[in-house]
Structure 1
Amino acid sequence: MHPFVRRAPWLAVLAAVAQVSCSDFTECAPVDAASAALPERLSGTGLFADGSMTVPGADVRAFTPQFPLWSDGATKRRWIRLPAGTRIDTRDMDHWQFPEGTRLWKEFTRDGVRVETRLLEKAGPRPEDWRAVAYVWLPDGSDAVATPAGQRDALGTPHDVPSASDCFGCHGGTPSRVLGFSAIQLSYDAPADSLDLEDLVASGTLTEPPEGRFTVPGNDVERASLGYLHANCGHCHNQQRPESDGPRCYEPRNSLDFRLRVDRLGALEETPAWRSGKDDDFEPGRPDDSKMIQRISKREAGWSMPLLGTEKVDADGVALLRRWISEMKR
């Protein structure tokens, strides 16, 4: 059995901040038996075919969200596998519900090193019945080992692997619990080897398929900015967070809402990001005076944004949002 390793320092700092500011954040619940029951090796999860650690199985499909999550420059690959004969419940087009047994994987490569592959599995019939763990790759690439406690600077890179419980600091923020595989994220011409919304409709995978794609409003800068906020901020900052019968898990309690919604795409001014952030988190025409720019331009524990999963400023993301705010009119 592999030893558990200590939590990354930024998580410990965040936990300390939570204790003095419990109205904003709290620690996630400990790893439960469900997550501990996941396979110990990535080779046992069904991602790869015939024992290969490079070729996905025939029933595993790649996907790429059109608005990616910043992960300190890591390169990522993602896959999904639905149980045979099942469909995704899309009665709520913003919050898809996945059949029991669904598995999603996300692989991280940092500085040319394949570091970890995360697994998210639907373990029961209820919306909250998900379990997760990260598999850290062995140095020879022969397999990856479940590491429920996370790992700092994995494989000699600056990449910190999250603990299994901390996965739901982000994934617990939406009723779907799945991030990146959604109606809005798949509404584009995906790469040839990746699923998009049209593929899912054509295959009969959705219980209530939409009539077409969902288009984010605005010009190129506005669309990209709204998508950036959706992917990087919306899993915490939204007003449709699910109820929890356990401790709150990095749950901000404020009026901000950065998630895109399919029924609010008629115009920029209809989007939750515009309605909740204008004149509060961003000042039209004045990026230097905008709290959003101030907080994403630094990495200070307990204050900078995003709070989780990043130690390095996304310079391109900052430049994009600065341009958006600079061109923004009241």
Structure 2
Amino acid sequence: MWMRELLLLLALSCLAACHRGMEPVAFHDEGYPAKLSDWHVVEARDGVLQLNEGVVPYELNTPLFTDYAHKLRTIWMPKGVSAKYSPTDTFDFPVGTIISKTFFYPLPKDAARNATDVAGTYDTSLDFAAPGQGLNLANVHLVETRLLIRRRDGWVAIPYVWNADQTEAMLARTGDVQALTLVSDSGERENFNYVVPDQSQCVSCHAHDWNTRAIQPIGPKARHLNRDYRYADGDENQLAHLMRVGYLTGAPAPADAPRNANWMDPHASLDARARAYLDINCGHCHNPKGAANTTGLTLDIATPEDRHIGICKPPTAAGQGTGDHLFDIVPGYPDDSILPYRLSSTEPGTMMPEIGRSTMHREGVALIKAWIAAQSGDCVVLH
């Protein structure tokens, strides 16, 4: 028992150290502060990207792919308010909520790396982050931090780009482009342009209803958050943790809440993994109200596996986006299907998603191809 108490004391001491010297989180109900540190949500201090008091980190069961970048996600709310639980939609967050997402890359193990070299794999043995507490800046390269702010008139997205010294992120409403090089564990290199979207592009993914084009968060849904996280004081289910700290109301026990699969989980079914991957990467646009609602292709998790999800469905428009393929999904034949063709492309006008990546997600495409290859059925071509 004494050992458990000692570990808890050490964890709380670490937590207090991370907050030392940081001013309280500042919610700005208007305007666009010039520096990320003006918000005091996460700050680069003493070699660590630190989380302020009350800033709760979280992860998704299956995350959105962004050029192999890793992401530190956080939620903060003012005292005395909570988000309202929904089993299907984004939680109803109160005014004053700040959601942050910091995009970063592990640094290659090779000490002779170039200044633009970043690694795509995540080696936890390098201790990128203390449990639940930010990132060790000696082991990572920070690229950008995006904030979603719940103001009185709705959500607003504000992008910040980290400087070369990794000490501060500056407001970048017009976006940014950085030439980087991915370095694999085997030494394979891939040059690419990391694109930080400009503020106006955020609506492309974050508009839940394309008629109103009002933006809202994508990740904080029950099915994405229903998993354990290693917080500073131990492992806990994220839904249960948010309820316990007062950031969420109305949630059932985790066992009774929806849960998407982890796309890399070898114990999950191929179907569950592929559907989770399409849900987070494509479903925010390909749904009945989303930006791609005119395509007739719906890819969120609730879509039945029929023509609505693309099985034997012809495209609504011809052109380079089809690759001369006839159907979105041809059961058993991924190379004849439009869906993996567009996921594989990096050409503007062809690639999907349309923004948010400059590289092909090889492992993700392989998953979708395997899923289509395992399907049975025939597509009839009418002449």
1:209 aligns to 2:263 (yes or no): no
Aligned to 2:341, the other structure's residue is in SS state helix
Which residue identity does 1:210 align to in structure 2?
P
CA distance in 2, matches of 1:64, 1:121: 19
1:153 aligns with 2:178: yes
**Structure showing greater Rg:** 2
Letter paired with 1:198:
A
Matching residue within 44, 53, 58 for 1:58:
53
TM-fit CA distance, 1:45: 1.1
- Are residues 271 and 57 of structure 1, via their aligned partners in 2, closer, same or farther at CA, if it must alter by over 3 Å? farther
2:280 is aligned with what amino acid?
A
Deviations 1:140-161 (A, max 9, x none): 1221110100111168973111
CA gap of 1:208–1:115, structure 2 versus 1, over 3 A, is: same
Q: Which residue identity is paired with 1:295?
A: R
Secondary structure at the residue paired with 2:145?
strand
Shift of residue 133 of structure 1?
Answer: 1.5
1:37 to 31, 42, 49: 31
Distance 1:56 1:205, change over 3 A: closer
Deviation at 1:36, TM superposition (A): 7.6
Q: Which secondary structure does the structure 1 equivalent of 2:309 belong to?
A: helix
The alpha carbon displacement at 1:314 in A equals 0.5
> Which one-letter code corresponds to 1:256 in the other structure?
L
Compute the displacement of 1:207 (Å): 3.3
Shift, 1:240, TM fit: 3.3
In structure 2, the gaps of 5 or more residues are 1-27, 106-117, 119-139, 182-191, 262-266, 314-327, 378-383
Segments of 5+ residues of structure 1 without an aligned counterpart are 1-33, 242-249, 262-269
In structure 2, give the amino acid aligned to 1:182. K
**Corresponding position of 2:369:** 322
Asked if 1 retains the 8 angstrom alpha-carbon contact of 2:226 and 2:258, the reply is yes
- 2:269 counterpart of 1:220: yes
**How far apart in 2 are the matches of 1:200 and 1:85?**
13
Q: Which residue of 2 aligns with 1:253?
A: 294
Q: Do 1:83 and 1:101's aligned partners in 2 also have CA atoms closer than 8 Å? A: yes
Q: CA deviation at 1:171?
A: 0.9
Instruction: Tell me the secondary structure at the aligned position of residue 193 of structure 2.
Output: coil
Query: Relative to structure 1, is the Cα distance of residues 35 and 202 closer, same or farther in structure 2, using a 3 angstrom cutoff?
Result: closer
Matched, 1:283 2:283: no
Partner SS state of residue 184, structure 1: helix
Where does 1:267-306 land on structure 2 (aligned, <5 Å)? 271=304, 275-280=308-313, 281-306=328-353
> Per the alignment, do residues 202 and 329 of structure 1 end up closer, same or farther by CA in structure 2, a change over 3 Å counting?
farther
Q: Structure 1 residue aligned with 2:150, among 119, 122, 131?
A: 122
TM-score by length of 2: 0.66
Secondary structure in structure 2 of the residue aligned to 1:153: strand
- Per the TM alignment, residue 287 of structure 1 is displaced from its structure 2 partner at its CA by 0.8
Aligned length: 278
Distance 2:305 2:246 in 1: 30
TM-score scaled by structure 1?
Answer: 0.75
Q: 2-side partners of 1:319 and 1:239: how far apart?
A: 27
User: What amino acid maps onto 1:224 in structure 2?
Assistant: R
Match in the other structure for 2:280: 231
Matched residue, 2:63 = 68
Structure 1 consecutive aligned stretches of length 4 or more whose deviation exceeds 6 Å: 49-53, 154-157
Counterpart contact for 1:259–1:272, Cα < 8 Å: no
What percent identity do the matched residue pairs reach?
Answer: 30
Alpha carbons of structure 1 residues 195 and 154: separation in structure 2 relative to 1, 3 Å:
farther
* Alpha-carbon separation, structure 1, partners of 2:359 and 2:284: 19
More strand by share: 2
Whether the 8 Å contact between 2:78 and 2:97 is mirrored in structure 1 is yes
Distance in 1 (alpha carbons) for counterparts of 2:142 and 2:45: 18
Asked if the contact 1:42/1:146 (under 8 Å) is kept, the reply is: yes
Q: Corresponding residue for 1:189? A: 228
Equivalence for 1:9: none
Cα gap change, 1:116/1:233 in structure 2, threshold over 3 Å: closer, same or farther? same
* TM-aligned CA distance change 1:154 to 1:144, over 3 Å: farther
For residues 46-65 of structure 1, give each alpha carbon's deviation from its aligned partner in whole angstroms, at most 9, with x where no partner exists.
21369776210111010111
Alignment counterpart, residue 102 of structure 1, candidates 79, 97, 104: 97
Partner of 1:198: 240
